[in-house]
Structure 1
Amino acid sequence: MLKSLEHLTGKVEINRDLIFLLVIGGLYSLGIFLSNTFVNIYLWKQSGDYITIAVYNLGIYLFQPIMFILAGKIAKKIDRVIVLRLGVTFLSLFFLSVLMIGEKASTYNFLLGSVLGIGYGFYWLAYNVLTFEITEPETRDFFNGFLGVLQSFGGMIGPVLAGVIIAKMTDNIGYTTIFTVSFILFICAVACSFFLNRRQAEGNFYFKRILIERHHNKSWRKILHAHVVQGLREGIFAFVIAIWVFLVTKSELSLGMFNLVLSGLSFVFYFVATKFIKPSLRKKAILLGGLLLYFSIFIILFHISYFNLIIYAIVIGIAYPIINVPYASLTYDVIGKAWRAKDLRVEYIVVRELFVNIGRVISILIFLISVSLFQAEKIIPVLLVVLGIGHLLIYFFVKDIYLGSSRKKQVLIKEQLTDEKNR
C-alpha cells in the first residue's frame, strides 16, 4: 500500500505514521460531520428552547481552550500521541453519553458540551503538533491535499447521510443510529492511534510567556484581536442557522442538503482561492470575504425561507474560502516570524485558540443575556446583525500588519475547510 501511494505521489517516501494520521483525520471528519449538526437539532426537539442550545455550545467553547492549555502542557511533558488518544477517547465518550442519556440529553446540555469541548481541545492540539512532526516538506503537499479530500468527503456526505437516516426512521431511532455510528468511528480512531509511534516530548511549556508576547509583538497582538472578533460571529452562528433551517423545513434531510451545498462549494472555492489569492492580495481578499459574509446575513434577515437559506449557503460557501485562505496564511506568517516560533509553536497554537474561544464565549453570553431579557424571535435577528460583523472586523485588525518578504508557507487545508461551526 505504501509503495502504491509513493507511486501516486511521484515516489515521495510515505511513512506509516503519516498514513495512520490521515486515517484518524478521516475517521474524525466523518464522525463529526455525521452527527455534530444534528446534536443541536436533537436538543432543540427535546427542549424547543434557544437557551438550552446556547448553554450546550457555551460548554464547548469554555472547555475547549482550557483543554488546549492542558493538552499543550501534556504535549510538552509526556507524549503527543497520548494527547491525541485522550481527545478521540473523550469524543467517543461524548457520543456514548448522548446515547445513554437519550431523551434527557437537554437536561445535561452543559455537561455534554463540556465533554465535547474537552475532546476538541485534546484532539486538535495533538493533531496540529503531530502534523508538523510527522510530515516533511516533501510529504506535506500530499498530506494536506489528501486530508482535504477526506474532510470534504465527510462534510458533504456526512450530513446528507445522517439526514436520510433520520428521515427514514421513526421517533428517535435515526438519531440513535447516527450517534452510534459516530461512536464506532471514534473507537476505530482510538484503535488506529495505537499504531502511531510514540513521540517523546521535550522542553518546558511557556504558555504565559507567549501570552505576554502580545505586549512586545504588535503583529501578534493584532492577529489575536482578529481571532477574538472572528469568534464573535462563530459563537451564535454555530447553532442559530441550523435551527432556522430545521424550523423552516421541519426536515433533517433539508438540513443535510444545506450542509452539502455549503461544504461542496467551500471545497471547490478553497482550491480556487489557494491558487489565485497571492500574498499581495491577502488583505483585499480578507476584506472582500468579510463583506460577503456580513451582507449574506441580510439574505435571510427579513424573510426566512428554505430558498433564501440555500442562497445564503451558496454565498458563505464562496465567502469563507476568500477570507480563510489569506487569513490562515497571514496567521501562520505572524507566528513564523514571532519570538522563538520554532521551539514554541505549541504555545502559539494554544494562545491563538484561547483568543478565538474568548470571542465565542462572549458571543454566547451576549446571546443568553439578550434572549433572557427579550423575545427570542425579535432579538436574534438583531444579534445576527451585530455579532455577524465579526469576520468583517478582522480586516481592520490585520490591515496594518507588515511582515516584509518571507518564504511561501504551507497552510494546512484542515485549517481552511469550513465546518458547521463557522456559519
Structure 2
Amino acid sequence: MPKNNQKLKKTQRLSTHAKNVLINHAIFQFGGSLSVIFVNLYLWRLTNDLWVNGMYNLVALLAQAVTTFGIGKMSKRKGRTTIYRYGIFMTALFYLLLVIVQEAMVHYFLLFALLRGIAQGLYWVAYFTIVHEVSSNENRHRYLGLNQMIMSTANLVAPALAGIVIGLFDSLIGYVLVFGMAFVMFIFATIGSFRIKKESIQHRTYYMKYLSSIIKKKQGFGKALFGWLIIGFPQGIFMYVPAILIYSIFNSEEIVGILNAAFLAVTILASYVISRVAKTENTRQYLWIAAIGLIVSSIFITIEIAVWSVVIFMVTKNVFKPLQGNAYAAYYFQWLDHIPLRSAFRTESVVLRETLINCGRGLGIVVFMIFSNEINTQTVGFVILAVMMIQLLLPFLVNHNKMMEG
C-alpha cells in the first residue's frame, strides 16, 4: 500500500496551535460535563417543577444570544483570545457562587441563568472563531470530528464520576462537591488559555452592517444561517429533559451519570467514524440520514416513557446528532471562503451562528413549556417528535452550487 495512503496528508494534519486549543477545550468541557446536567437536576430536586427548569434554561439561552450578538464588536477589537479567557473565568465564577449559596440557588435561579448565559456567550463566540482560524477546508472535518470525540469523552467520564460522587451522599451535599470540582476545572482552563497563541488582529472593523448586502449577493448564505435556527430547536429541550427523564425512571443520580456516559460512548464512536470518512460535498446526504434517524429515535418515547424506550431514544439520537452537527458546521465554515469580505467576516459569522442557534434552542424550550407541564407520554414524546420532524428542512438549505456562484 502506498505510504501516502497509510498516513494523513500533510494538509489534513493539525497544527500545534490547533492541538493546544483542543486540549484546553477538553478541560473546559470536562468541567462543564461534570456539572451541567446536574445543575438542572439540582433545580429539579429542589423544586420538582419543569417550569423552573424551563425558565432557567430559557433565560440562560436568551442571555447567551444577546451576549453573543453584542460582544462581536468587542471580540473584533480586543481579540478572540481575550474574550475566550473572559468566558472561561466567568464560568468559573458561576460555579464558585453556586458552591457558596447552595440550596438558596432556587431563590436566585434567574440571576444564575443570566450569569451562565453571559459566560457561555463569551466563550462560544471566541471558541468557534478560533476553530475556523486553526483549521482549513482540508482538515476541518477532521478537527470537528476530533473536537466531538474529545468533548464526548469528557461528557462520558465526567457525568459518570459526578453521579458516583453525588450517590455517596443521602443529602444534596454531593451536588455541591461536584460544583466545587467543576470550579477547579475551570480555573485550570483559565490558566491553560494563556498557552493559546494570541492572534494578530488584522480586521478590527465590525462588518455586521453589511449582512443584508451579503445575503442579497449570496442568498445561499442566508439559508445557511437559517439552518442554525432549525438545529437549535431540539437542542434546547435536550439541555435538561433527558436527565430528568432518566431520573424520573430510576430515581438515582448515579444511574443518570452512568447512562449518560454510556450514551455518549455511542457519540464518540459515531464522531470517530465521521472524522475519518466524512466529505464536505456529501453534506446534504448526511443531513437527510441524520434527520430521518432523529425522527425514528423519537418515535419510541411516544409509545411510553420507560427504560427500554428512553434507552433506545438516547442511543439512536446520539448516533445521528454528531453526523448532523459536524456536517452542517463544516458546510457553514466553507461558506466563509465564498462570501464577500471572506475571513474579515469570520467573527460576525460566528456571532450570527451562535445567536441563531441559541434563539432556536430558546424557541424549542418555549414550545416544550407550552405543551408539556409534566413528564408523561402524551406530551413529552410527541413534542420531541414534532421538533425532530422540523430537522427535515435542513437538507433543503444546503446548496454547494450557490456557494460557488458569483
What TM-score does the superposition give when structure 1 sets the normalisation length? 0.84
Between the aligned residues of both structures, percent identity stands at: 24
How far apart are 1:231 and its partner, in Å?
1.5
Matches of residues 41-120 of structure 1 in structure 2 within 5 Å?
A: 41-120=41-120
- Stretches of structure 2 lacking an aligned partner (at least 5 in a row): 1-8
- Could you say if the C-alpha distance between residues 147 and 369 of structure 1 is closer, same or farther in structure 2, counting changes exceeding 3 Å? closer
Residue 313 (str. 1) matches residue 320 (str. 2): no
Q: Which residue of 2 aligns with 1:402?
A: 401
Moved more, 195-204 or 302-311: 195-204
CA contact (8 A) 2:297 2:313 kept: yes
Letter of the aligned partner of 1:319 in structure 2? F
CA contact (8 A) 1:33 1:154 kept: yes
1:309-368 superposed Cα distances (whole Å, 9 cap, x missing partner): 222222112112332332222222223211212111111111121111221222222333
Matches of residues 213-252 of structure 1 in structure 2 within 5 Å?
A: 213-252=214-253
- Could you say if the C-alpha distance between residues 217 and 247 of structure 1 is closer, same or farther in structure 2, counting changes exceeding 3 Å? same
- Stretches of structure 1 lacking an aligned partner (at least 5 in a row): 1-8, 407-423
CA contact (8 A) 1:157 1:260 kept: yes
CA contact (8 A) 1:336 1:342 kept: yes
Moved more, 199-208 or 299-308: 199-208
Distance across 2 between alignment mates of 1:45 and 1:338: 48
- Could you say if the C-alpha distance between residues 361 and 267 of structure 1 is closer, same or farther in structure 2, counting changes exceeding 3 Å? same
- Could you say if the C-alpha distance between residues 120 and 395 of structure 1 is closer, same or farther in structure 2, counting changes exceeding 3 Å? same
CA contact (8 A) 1:261 1:313 kept: no
Q: Which residue of 1 aligns with 2:182?
A: 182
SS at match of 1:174: helix
The total of aligned residue pairs comes to 394
1:277-334 superposed Cα distances (whole Å, 9 cap, x missing partner): 4345321221111011012111122212223222222211211233233222222222
SS at match of 2:53: helix
- Could you say if the C-alpha distance between residues 402 and 257 of structure 1 is closer, same or farther in structure 2, counting changes exceeding 3 Å? farther
- Could you say if the C-alpha distance between residues 280 and 26 of structure 1 is closer, same or farther in structure 2, counting changes exceeding 3 Å? closer
How far apart are 1:175 and its partner, in Å?
0.6
How far apart are 1:198 and its partner, in Å?
4.1
1:39-93 superposed Cα distances (whole Å, 9 cap, x missing partner): 1100000010011000111122101122222332112112322211110111011
- Could you say if the C-alpha distance between residues 60 and 257 of structure 1 is closer, same or farther in structure 2, counting changes exceeding 3 Å? same
How far apart are 1:20 and its partner, in Å?
4.6
Matches of residues 119-268 of structure 1 in structure 2 within 5 Å?
A: 119-133=119-133, 147-201=147-201, 202-210=203-211, 213-268=214-269
Distance across 2 between alignment mates of 1:22 and 1:375: 39
1:210-262 superposed Cα distances (whole Å, 9 cap, x missing partner): 25533432211211222112122112232112211110111112212222222
CA contact (8 A) 1:233 1:389 kept: no
Distance across 2 between alignment mates of 1:278 and 1:13: 17
Matches of residues 306-385 of structure 1 in structure 2 within 5 Å?
A: 306-371=307-372, 377=376, 378-385=378-385
Distance across 2 between alignment mates of 1:139 and 1:214: 27
Distance across 1 between alignment mates of 2:145 and 2:312: 28
How far apart are 1:166 and its partner, in Å?
0.9
Distance across 2 between alignment mates of 1:238 and 1:216: 36
- Could you say if the C-alpha distance between residues 380 and 220 of structure 1 is closer, same or farther in structure 2, counting changes exceeding 3 Å? same
How far apart are 1:405 and its partner, in Å?
6.8
- Could you say if the C-alpha distance between residues 18 and 270 of structure 1 is closer, same or farther in structure 2, counting changes exceeding 3 Å? closer
Letter of the aligned partner of 1:390 in structure 2? I
- Could you say if the C-alpha distance between residues 68 and 375 of structure 1 is closer, same or farther in structure 2, counting changes exceeding 3 Å? closer
What TM-score does the superposition give when structure 2 sets the normalisation length? 0.87
